[in-house]
Amino acid sequence: MAKILIVDDDQTIGFMLRDILEFNGHEVVVSQEPKKTKENIRDNNIELVLLDKLISGVDGTDVCADLRKDDEFVDLPVIMMSALHNVDEICKEAGATEFLSKPFDMETLNSLVTEVLKNH
Partner 1 sequence: MQKDLRIKELEEELENLKDQENQTSEFRNKEGNNINSELNSIEFTNSIIENIQAPLLLLNNHFEIIHANRAFYKTFQTTKEEIEGRDIFKIWSHEENITGLKDKLKCIISENLQLSNFEINQSFENIGEKWFKINGSKIQNPQKSSDYILLTLEDISVQKKNEENLKSNEELLQEMIYSSTSLIALLKGPEFIIEIANDAMKNMWGKGPDVIGKPVFQVVPEVEEQGIKELLEEVYQTCKPYHAKERPVYHNVNGEIIKSYFDFTYQPHCNADGKVVGVGVIAQDVTQQAILNERIKASEKEFREMLDFMPHRITVTDKDGNTKYCNQSWLDYSGCTLTEFLERDSSEFTHPDEREKIEKAGEDCLSNEEDLYMELRIKDKHGKYRWHLCRGIPIRNENNEIISWITSSTEIHKLKEEEKRKEDFLKLVSHELKTPVTSIKGYVQLLLSMLHQENTPDNSVPVKPYLQRIENQVERLIRLIAEMLDLSRIEQNELELRKDEFNLNKQVEEIVEDLIYSNKEIDIHLQHDFECNVKADRDRIGQVIINFVTNALKYSPNSKRVDIRIFEEKENYVAISVKDYGIGIDEKEQQQIFKRFYRISGNKDETYSGFGIGLYLSNEIIERHKGKIKVNSEIGKGSEFIFTLPLNNN
List residues binding partner 1 (CB under 8 A).
Answer: 9-10, 12-13, 15-17, 19-20, 23, 33, 54, 56-59, 62, 82-85, 102-107, 109
Q: Which is nearer to partner 1, 29 or 83 (CB)?
A: 83
Judge whether 21 and 47 are in contact, CB under 8 Å: no
Query: How far is the C-alpha of 55 from the C-alpha of 10, rounded, in Å?
Result: 8
Least CB distance from residue 33 to partner 1, whole Å? 8
Phi, psi of 42 (to 5 degrees): -65, -50
Q: Which is nearer to partner 1, 1 or 84 (CB)?
A: 84
Phi, psi of 29 (to 5 degrees): -115, 130
Least CB distance from residue 71 to partner 1, whole Å? 25
Least CB distance from residue 55 to partner 1, whole Å? 8
Q: Which is nearer to partner 1, 44 or 110 (CB)?
A: 110
Q: Which is nearer to partner 1, 14 or 77 (CB)?
A: 14
